[in-house]
Amino acid sequence: MIQINNLNKKFGKLTVLEGLDLEINSGGIFAILGPNGSGKTTLIKSILGMVIPNSGDIKLNGKTILKEWEYRNQINYLPQIANFPSNLSVNELIGMVKNLRPKKANEVELISLFGLEQFLDKKLGNLSGGTKQKVNIVLTFMFDSELIILDEPTTGLDPISLIHLKDIIQKEKEKGKTLLITTHIMSLVEEIADEIVFLLDGEIYFKGSVIELKKRTGQTDIEHAIANLMTKENV
């Protein structure tokens, strides 16, 4: 589905991505991991067209996405921070997003699942962070797209909402969707990820399953395996 070849990105003198090559096949859950400053966000924003690389190419289903925009309708994106206009109500925001995308939306079931009915007429500026994140999730999953990118999706969620989110992610996987997830919650990675892509200093230092990661690092739990990768001792 996604082919990235020799991707390079600098911000001034700072090199964020350097010669990055990555291939992600259709279907499955891929955890994009790495410490702060490793290039995760730049990689995701490059796929979304929000960051223009200095060189290299990104292809989605065999077609380059650079300088294109229509491909974005094939992507659902959940940003890390639910930064919405504070003067809009939840209903107004959902309606606005529905009008912006030329796709049929199915938000009713999601609104019910996350118990948002009582907040529909509330201004977004008056909502808690956790409630905003639930709205964020509704906006992400109410459209049917083949690629779903989730940036720290569990932020602010209560345990019940987290269970609902994991169920949604698994159902999307069962439909054959491809999901890219960034998270610092290693238990979530171990539970749902089919593959891990670990970035360090703008390069990929590991790509494979959780089992393969543990075997490569000689660790029995994912937290220590990731910590081991960060030392660059096993790369």
CA distance 138 to 157: 13
**pTM for the full predicted model:** 0.93
pLDDT at 232: 58
pLDDT at 81: 84
pLDDT at 234: 46
Q: What are phi and psi of 59, to 5 degrees?
A: -120, 140
Q: Provide CATH code, domain 2-230.
A: 3.40.50.300
Q: What are phi and psi of 230, to 5 degrees?
A: -65, -15
Strands (E), 154-202: 178-182, 195-200
- Longest Cα separation, the chain: 53
DSSP string, 32-65: EE--TTSSHHHHHHHHHTSS--SEEEEEETTEE-
Block means of pLDDT (10 residues each) for the chain, 235 residues, are 95 94 95 91 94 95 91 92 92 95 92 98 95 97 96 94 97 97 93 95 92 93 90 55
Residues sharing a CB contact under 8 Å with residue 18, sequence separation 6 or more, in sequence order: 8, 201, 202, 203
